Structure formats: structure tokens, C-alpha cells
Amino acid sequence: MKKRILFICSHNAARSQMAEGYLREKYGDRYEAFSAGTTATAVHPLAILVMAEIGIDISGHRSKDLGGFIGQEMDVVVTVCDAAQGICPMFPWAKETIHAGFSDPAAVAGTSDEQVTAFRSIRDEITGWIDTTFGGA
């Protein structure tokens, strides 16, 4: 049986979406990946862009509210931003909770090139962390 992993971030717009897409694509034979936000918004276009650069299509993802996962048992809940970390003690359906905080690439001001660079950097941090954390399991 596949382990169920839920990535939580504040808006379910970038970090948690990238994590969900990457885990599903690379390790989908072992894990079911989900993501949600404490407040759902929309998937950030730059998250879609930088994931497409590594061959992962998240353009069909939608931002989901954490409330939609109430009562759904998860093997692991991962908070990928500090703001969402406080939510996890209130998610009793998780067997394990992990906090892996990543900076918000959407908060980077600057030129469009600087913003894309920020998204790529966070994408690479997230994918590296997932490879280390879930790749050998």
C-alpha cells in the first residue's frame, strides 16, 4: 500500500504544489501525494513554469483548502512554510508530522527574471529535500 503524504502551505500556491507534483511524478510508485493550504488561493504561474522546466506538469493542479482533508488519514503531513507549521498539531489524522520550511518565492520582489530565479531555487531545494527524505525509503 502506498504511503499518503500531504504537503501543507499557507496558500497552496507554490511550495506545496511543487512538492506534490514532484513526489507524485518521481515516487508515485510508493507514495500518494496531496497538497493543501490553510487558505486556498490559486496555483502560481511561475510554479507551473519552473516545474515544466524539469518535465513535471502541474498546470492541472488546483489550490485546495486544508478543510477538505479533515478526517482523511495521512501517513505523513509535511508543512513546507513556517506559517502552516502551527496547523499540524490540529491535524490528528497524521501518523507523522514533519516541518521543512522553505522561503516563499512569491514574496521575492524584482524583475521577472529575478522572480523566476527565486522559484527555481525553491523548486530545487524542495526536490532535493524530497529526494533525501522520501527517495531512499
**Is 70 noted as a catalytic residue in this protein?**
no
Single out the catalytic residue among 76, 83, 88, 116: 88
**Is 4 noted as a catalytic residue in this protein?**
no
77 and 96 Cβ atoms separated by less than 8 Å: yes
In the predicted structure, residue 18 carries a pLDDT above the cut 70:
yes
85-135, pLDDT tens digit by residue?
A: 665 556 788 899 888 989 999 999 899 999 999 999 999 999 999 999 999
Q: What pLDDT was estimated at residue 21? A: 98
Single out the catalytic residue among 81, 87, 94, 126: 81
**Is 81 noted as a catalytic residue in this protein?**
yes
In the predicted structure, residue 39 carries a pLDDT above the cut 90:
no
Q: Name the residue among 77, 61, 81, 57 with its Cα closest to residue 69.
A: 77
| pTM for the whole structure | 0.93
C-alpha distance from residue 85 to each of 37, 57, 80, 88, 124 (Å): 11, 27, 8, 6, 21
Measured in whole angstroms, the distance separating CA 137 from the mean position of its chain's CA atoms is 19
Q: Of 3.60.140.10, 3.40.50.880, 3.40.50.2300, 3.30.1490.20, which CATH number belongs to 3-131?
A: 3.40.50.2300
Single out the catalytic residue among 5, 6, 9, 74: 9
